[in-house]
Structure 1
Amino acid sequence: MTIRDAKMDIDSIHLFKRAKLLPNVLSKAEVKSILDAHSNIKHKMMLSLIYSCGLRCGELLALQPVHIDSMRNIVLLKNSKGKKDRIVPLSSKILEMLREYYKVFKPTTYLFEGQIKGKPYDDRSLQQVLKQAIQKSGIRKPVTLHWLRHSYATHLLESGTDLRYIQELLGHNSSKTTEIYTHVSIKSIQQIKSSFDDL
């Protein structure tokens, strides 16, 4: 019997479910210590913008000065994952930091440029910026840039932001993707009284 003649027995195929891994989330205190670790305004600004807007690494590096709308306090993310544009709110504290950053660096094409004017900051260099911040803050966790995005979403959820808004802010196609943050939010868990306390 040739391979072509062989019939596939559908029932004998075992479908493997992908493991559902929970996103890694930092406490607000841990995020603050990471963001405060750098004295270099550019390094501080990049990490702060990732957390405060829930950005992906590529979205941050693709930002241009024209994407910052200081009149409406929003950031326009052009052509992000899934070829979609979206807007995210811009914190007033971040806007003040950005104004200070502009005065020093005067970015032209990209908001965060590398050593060559008009070229975007290198993603590997950005990873190093985070690594140095973690070392300085004394956090002993394998933190990645995406942890800041996860932390942003979880902290929004814990402060009472509707899951549908969080889905929009993160640019998720499916609400299922956003719902995973309900599993790492500790707000409702902290309200549960341990039975141990009654012993």
Structure 2
Amino acid sequence: MTKSSTNAAAEPIIVLVLGVSGSGKSTVGSMLAGRLGWPYAEADDFHSEANRQKMAAGHALTDEDRWPWLETIAEWMDGRIAEGRSAVVTCSALKRSYRDLLRKNRPQVRLVYLKGSRELIASRLTARQGHFFPAQLLETQFATLEEPTEDEHPYVVPIGGTPEEIVDQTVRQLGVV
């Protein structure tokens, strides 16, 4: 049975699609939301202009840069929960502390970790056009990455397949269809 975004009786869930830049978060997240008929938010849209400029210049963000951004994403999730609507949001959420902030007092959050090799993700980043995140920052992403652990109950989805296959596997793992 599908959990509907409009069914008040069903507890809403917030699917947090996470992974390093280039892992397919935006593609998978938007396709997943479209398939389920749920609202979708791209975490990159919540970045301040200063954060965007810093990354575009090839500088990694600090935790101090990220905390206000993460709080804004959490507020968006709280809005969907208050409305009783399931939703999908993408966010790199590379550190446990970031995921803890996003999950704090939100039992509705389900982590979907898109996992892939450095080589595969690097090839995707070099092929990507018009994105403010330069491929040379990938190493900083992997250096920062703290993969979700069992106690976070992540759904780990390998990214070797097509976007459709990844979404299919995600839907199966979440049990929402």
What band does the TM-score fall into relative to the shorter chain?
A: under 0.3
Report the TM-score when normalising by structure 2. 0.28
Q: Which has the higher contact order (CA 8 A, sep 6+)?
A: 2
User: Max radius of gyration: which structure?
Assistant: 1
Q: Which has the higher strand share?
A: 2
